[in-house]
């Protein structure tokens, strides 16, 4: 089968398209004929091995030679002990543990997959699992009258988070680069900020909830932007920023009646299916900026990693 592989961390030049052996499902696993794989920021981080947490399981070299975790496709075969799926079923899920989505076939644990709704295309379904789980958990607690800020609002997770926070009745401010401002307004954001021109932590009415998908600022800036009793949730960013949130931020927030912490995302179908139902019903929109074929995986990764994507990017391997 054809796959995009890499053997060392680095830039786009370390990726290559090769013919590799077809994987076989072990006990409790499912072999999926991949119809679509959406690109996440975690794929870009896994390619470069940066931030450092992207090297978990592979300090010097990638543990998995094929990136791509959010897959959708047909069940080709099942391993022993699999009871929920059979060949021919349409499935989707976040295969973060095994990856392998940038290929024609991928093996995934049965527990990571859900039945794809008939109302979604494979491409649409592939956009939901990882980004959807983060968006659902990151906006939990938003309510009518709350002021919510989403930093990184123009990307895959952010585009879902804006819509979810609005559904909960919040006043939403979305932050990203200047070319994404109109897109974020179209998703329902009440206010938009170009981070390259304006500091969202200064001279503004404080927020009840901040979901930060690209944390790089000091914890004191985040604390300053929170209202008393407010909560800051970090779901991505530099290792330095994450460590400061976990240590200094936790202590500083407690003293000032503000909660600062890292969002520990729970994975699996039960955590992305609530958003799936909203997407099927048309209550939350799926925004696919561009689709690429397998040979174009480097361009797809760059489009996401360099902050150009409006919503999600999808790779179709066949």
Report the first-to-last Cα separation within the chain, whole angstroms: 11
Question: Which pLDDT score, from 0 to 100, does residue 257 have?
Answer: 80
Mean pLDDT (10-residue bins), the chain, 318 residues:
97 98 98 98 95 87 96 98 98 97 98 98 98 97 96 98 98 98 98 95 92 89 92 86 76 75 94 98 98 98 97 94
Q: Where are the domains of the chain?
A: 2-127+286-316, 131-262
Question: Which pLDDT score, from 0 to 100, does residue 220 have?
Answer: 86
Beta strands (DSSP E) in 79-195 are: 90-94, 105-109, 113-115, 147-151, 171-176, 191-194
Residue 87 neighbours by CB under 8 Å, 6+ apart: 74, 75, 76, 77, 78
Q: What is the chain's percent helix, strand, coil content, to nearest 5?
A: 35, 30, 40
Question: Which pLDDT score, from 0 to 100, does residue 245 have?
Answer: 80
Decide if 105 contacts 34 (C-beta within 8 A).
yes
- Indicate the CATH number of 2-127+286-316 among 3.30.1360.40, 3.10.50.40, 3.30.70.60, 3.90.180.10: 3.90.180.10
Would you state the structure tokens that stand for residue 203, as one six-digit string? 């001279």
Output the pTM of the full model.
0.95
131-262 folds as: Rossmann fold (3.40.50)
Would you state the structure tokens that stand for residue 310, as one six-digit string? 């409006």
Rounded distance, CA 44 to CA 287, Å?
Answer: 20
Q: Residue 222: helix, strand or coil by DSSP? A: helix
Rounded distance, CA 157 to CA 214, Å?
Answer: 11
Question: Which pLDDT score, from 0 to 100, does residue 219 have?
Answer: 84
DSSP, res 237: B
Question: Which pLDDT score, from 0 to 100, does residue 266 have?
Answer: 95
Q: Residue 260: helix, strand or coil by DSSP? A: strand
For 260-271, letters b (16+ CB in 10 Å) and e give bebbebebbbeb
């Amino acid at each position: 089968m054809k796959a995009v592989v890499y053997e060392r961390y680095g830039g786009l030049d370390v990726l290559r398209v090769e013919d590799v052996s077809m994987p076989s499902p072990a006990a409790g696993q499912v072999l999926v004929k991949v119809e679509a794989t959406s690109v996440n920021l975690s794929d870009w981080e896994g390619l470069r091995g940066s931030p450092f947490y992207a090297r978990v399981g592979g300090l010097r070299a990638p543990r998995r030679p094929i990136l791509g975790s959010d897959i959708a496709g047909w069940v080709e075969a099942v391993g022993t002990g699999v009871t929920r799926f059979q060949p021919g079923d349409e499935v989707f899920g976040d295969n973060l543990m095994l990856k392998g989505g940038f290929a024609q076939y991928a093996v995934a644990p049965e527990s990571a997959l859900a039945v794809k709704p008939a109302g979604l295309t494979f491409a649409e379904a592939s956009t939901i699992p990882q980004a959807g789980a983060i968006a659902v958990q990151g906006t939990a607690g938003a309510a009518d009258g709350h002021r919510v800020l989403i930093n990184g609002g123009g990307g895959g997770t952010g585009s879902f988070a804006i819509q979810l926070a609005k559904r909960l009745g919040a006043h939403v401010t979305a932050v990203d680069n200047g070319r994404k401002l109109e897109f974020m307004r179209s998703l329902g954001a009440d206010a938009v900020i170009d981070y390259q021109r304006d500091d969202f932590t200064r001279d503004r009415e404080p927020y009840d909830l901040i979901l930060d998908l690209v944390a790089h600022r000091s914890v004191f800036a985040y604390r300053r932007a929170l209202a008393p009793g407010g909560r800051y949730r970090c779901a991505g960013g530099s290792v330095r920023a994450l460590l400061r949130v976990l240590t200094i931020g936790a202590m500083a927030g407690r003293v000032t009646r503000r909660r600062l912490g890292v969002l520990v995302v729970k994975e699996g179908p039960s955590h992305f299916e609530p958003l799936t139902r909203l997407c099927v019903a048309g209550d939350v929109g799926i925004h696919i900026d561009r689709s690429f074929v397998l040979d174009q995986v480097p361009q797809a990764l760059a489009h996401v990693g360099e902050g150009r994507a409006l919503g999600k990017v999808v790779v179709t391997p066949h």
